[in-house]
Amino acid sequence: MSWSCGVPHGTLWKTASTPPTRPRAPTRAERFALSLSLGDWVRRDFVWDISTLVLVRTEDWHATWVSWRENGEWWGWYVNFQRPMIRIPTGIQTMDLMLDIVVAPDRRWRWKDEDEFEALVSQGIIDNDEACRVRREAADVIRQLDANLAPFNHPWHSWRPNPDWGLPHLPSGWDCLT
């Protein structure tokens, strides 16, 4: 099954952050690893700074984001490695595995957050089998990109959301995971 969702510039979203009850670790990788190990993060509000269309298939260990700057200029692709999405009573659940690939409009790509991925592996938050699975998925994505296969061969850069859709908002009960 394939899914897609739009996240327009200006969308309010929540992300995990270090709780005020303990010192903030010096690096982002250490902060994520510690928060995941302790399970004590707090959620903070942030504003999405770029318009994004998220393309994902339920069995994939990644989602491909197609993004545009506020002026409408195509930003490129962002490949977010994550656990496969599953439906839960309050929506969809996944876990960001921190490793990413950033792809410019000219198709040049680079790794992002390799240190954060390795921190989760070294802390045992991601086990070796899962880490190998993510690395294989990343190699497959790079092959798709190099071979100009979907979704990298579609004219996503010309897609635009209907401006009447407005900004999404979190429904009540969004934070209930049962």
Predicted local distance difference test score (pLDDT) of residue 177: 57
pLDDT in tens, 25-38: 888 888 888 888 88
Q: Is residue 155 part of a domain?
A: yes
Q: How far, in Å, CA of 3 to CA of 55, rounded?
A: 6
Pick the catalytic residue: 9, 112, 133, 157?
112
14 a catalytic residue? no
Inform me whether the pLDDT recorded for 82 exceeds 90: yes
17 falls within a domain: no
Would the CA dihedral through 132, 134, 137, 138 be positive or negative?
negative
Is 177 part of any domain? no
Q: Is the pLDDT of residue 17 over 90?
A: no
pLDDT per residue over 159-173, tens digit each? 777 778 888 888 777
Range of the domain at 116: 2-9+51-160
What per-residue confidence (pLDDT) applies to 167? 86
Overall domain count for the chain: 1
pLDDT digits (tens, 9 = 90+) for 91-141: 788 899 999 999 999 999 999 999 999 999 998 999 999 999 999 999 999
109-118 long-range contacts, Cβ below 8 Å, gap at least 24?
109/142, 109/145, 113/29, 115/27, 115/29, 116/28, 116/29, 116/32, 116/33, 117/81, 118/29
Task: Calculate ∠ Cα 114-99-161, nearest 5°.
Answer: 140
